[in-house]
A and B are shown apart, each in its own frame.
Chain A
Amino acid sequence: MIADQLTSSVAEVLRTNYCPTNRTQFITSLAGLAAIFCAVAIVLIARGKTARVAGILIVLFALGAAALDLFGFSGCSFRFEPGLTWDWPW
């Protein structure tokens, strides 16, 4: 498959907008958030019924958030557009 010039340039714009300025910091923040969510969920799941439901919902939220963030992050090129960045995973 080969791409025409306009499609290539638009794809490049879409790949550079809203990308993190620091990839390592972004991934570290995401992993830290996931760890906090998992810790809270583990504490809650060990308790009563209502807390268990809350724990399961927190795990589901963390999974969905991580999937969304990683999906968006995987589309970034190695450049970013100043003013249109995404430095935190929320």
Chain B
Amino acid sequence: MTSCEGDLRAEPGAIGTGKGYYLLPAGWAIARTPGGRRACLVAVMDVMPWYIPAQYCARQGATAYLEMWALLLVLAGAAILTRRTSRFLAGTFVVFAALTGILGTSMFYGCSVSAPAEQGLGTNLPAATYGILRCFGHDVGYTAYGWVLFVLSCGGAIALFVFGIIRWKQAGRALAIIGAALLAMAAFAVSFFLLFAFSWCASSRLF
């Protein structure tokens, strides 16, 4: 008996029917080569390869991930362009860009990890970890849209406030501060809805 290399892939359901496969303990099986002359020791795939759910999630949430990617690039560009005008603004843009990257990666990872389990396959993850990852990957369109609104509101509020204080005077400054306050309130409202949706998902309530 040797170990097989390459394309010894069973037809769907072949293991259960025992067609040329003999299950061994610890995730191994003895299988015959396509010619049937040799017996091989092969690993039984009981865990989904990472790329199948990852490709599924890339297709399912393509719009959301493209929105996040576009937002990250816009924030990076804004940080580059404002680094001489205001270090504070540039730093804020860098922080938001980093948070966008982290959230987008978490959404993609959460979806990839939870997709097989959502279709009925078991998972080895602890329930709490799985719940959090599932909620990151759940309804990525809503999360991405909310995050874009939040960042735009925050960025607009900070930019209006900074430029209102530095550049503008009297009426312009007053209008800038009022606009910044309104945008800050909008950002607060959006963040509330985002956190509420995440908490609702994590609490596993149906209604």
Contacts and interface: CB of A to CB of B under 8 A. Distances in A.
Nearest to B67: A90
A62 to B, nearest CB: 10
Contact of B55 (A57, A61, A74): A74
Contacts of B53: 14
A18 B12 contact: no
B150 interface: no
Nearest to A72: B58
A12 B56 CA distance: 11
Given A57-B77, A60-B73, A4 B45 contact: yes
Interface string B120-162: 1100000000000000000000000000000000000000000
Interface stretch (B14-22, B166-174, B175-183): B14-22
Contact of A1 (B45, B52, B66, B80): B45
Interface in B8-45: 8-10, 12-16, 21, 29, 31, 42-45
Interface residues of A, number: 37
Which residue of A9, A11, A90 has the most chain B CB atoms within 10 A of its CB atom?
A: A11
B199 interface: no
Interface in B80-97: 80-81
Nearest to A74: B55
Binding site secondary structure of chain A: helix
Given A7-B121, A10-B121, A17-B60, A1 B48 contact: no
A14 B66 CA distance: 21
A5 B16 contact: yes
B73 A57 contact: yes
Nearest to A17: B56
B24 to A, nearest CB: 12
Given A1-B43, A4-B16, A72-B59, A14 B10 contact: no
13 contacts: A1-B42, A1-B44, A3-B15, A4-B44, A8-B13, A15-B56, A17-B59, A57-B76, A64-B66, A74-B55, A75-B54, A75-B58, A75-B59
Interface of A: 1-15, 17-19, 50, 53-54, 57, 60-61, 64-65, 68-69, 71-76, 86, 89-90
